[in-house]
Amino acid sequence: MSDADLSNDVDAPCPKKLKVSQDKENGVNDNQLQLKDFIPEKTLNNNTSRKTVCIQGKFKDKSGVALILLEKNAFKEEHLNNGSGYFTEHTELLTYFQNDIYGNYECFPQSSLNGVKTTIIYPATEKHIAKFSAQNIHLIAETPELYEKLTLPHIEKEQFNLQWVYNILEGKSEQDRVVYDNKCEKEGFVLVPDLKWDGLTKETLYLLAIIRQRGIKSLRDLDASHLPLLKRVRDEGKKIILDKYCVPGSQLRIYLHYQPSFYHLHIHFTYLRHEAPGIYAEKAHLLDSVISNLEMMGDYYKKATLPFTVREMDNIFNVYETNGHLQRIKPNIENIELIDK
């Protein structure tokens, strides 16, 4: 899968990461898990602002923990035109109240517009459970010294398995989802839809450029020698997205995450109007700014202090807490943040 949030643990079997869909001709695939067999046990996170929820449970007659992520789909422009979509004889209104010129209703459109994006992680690991749970969040100002002493050893010990990334790069899986493939080993990359995007709705456009060159874990590893690679990803990515999705480069948000969710360099492309997870200042670094910084100082990211967020259930929180850089917040329901990385 191309979504970092759903990467599998190093020591755990690869989870089955399935986006539930209906096969119009042949019905349900034999290997597809069914929600009718899911037994909910606990709600890990109910994010009312993003209209997402993560539920922990298990599947009937199967061992292991499962996570179900449900997300309300964005509105599509073609469904908002007169005479189609929401404005047809199939749409019903339930009246809550009417007062003068104001009316409050609940709308029941045709069933084809009511799909809920669904992701299954099975079997889920403790890291997946921690990642999707609502919890306290802290900000770290990571100096180069802290990176070398605390963060890097943790990354090398704890990071998710990258085999799913190599499967994409080597053409072993998800080839039907590849939007663009530059096979140059030094400056090439594969452009694929992020799992959070359905691949169709312009309003939520979200793609990942996964670079072919191995050994570049994150922003910290970049230097001036990588400028040709970064510029190629930016320029070719913009051209492909314009040609395929009719979204110009001036309407794209192109950025890197720090810390990233998986440690193989990848770059995010999202529609500027889409408030995608992880676009905030403490996590997202615009690619143009990264390029500019490296042009001014070739080893900028080896010397810079970089912010990143950690949650109290993350193992790296324990590392920084043990070394006196963080303090755990005492349990208080009012302090819990519903976050979506």
Question: Which residues are annotated as part of the binding site for substrate?
Answer: 164, 174, 194, 196, 257-268
Mapping DSSP to helix (H, G, I), strand (E, B) and coil, where does residue 217 land? coil
Q: How many residues does the chain have?
A: 341
Which tokens is 233 given?
A: 């990803």
Active-site residue 79, yes or no? Answer: no
Contact 121, 15 (CB under 8 A): yes
- Yes or no: say if 80 and 201 are a contact pair by the CB < 8 Å rule: no
* Gap between the Cα atoms of 189 and 235, Å rounded: 12
How many angstroms from the chain centroid is the CA of residue 59? 24
Instruction: Tell me the two tokens of residue 109.
Output: 């459109």
Side-by-side strand order, sheet with 266-271: 180-182, 189-193, 206-211, 266-271, 252-257, 284-286
- Could you say which of 226, 266, 274, 325 is catalytic? 266
C-alpha distances out from residue 134 to 12, 280, 310, 313, 314, Å:
23, 18, 12, 10, 12
Contact 271, 247 (CB under 8 A): yes
Active site residues: 266
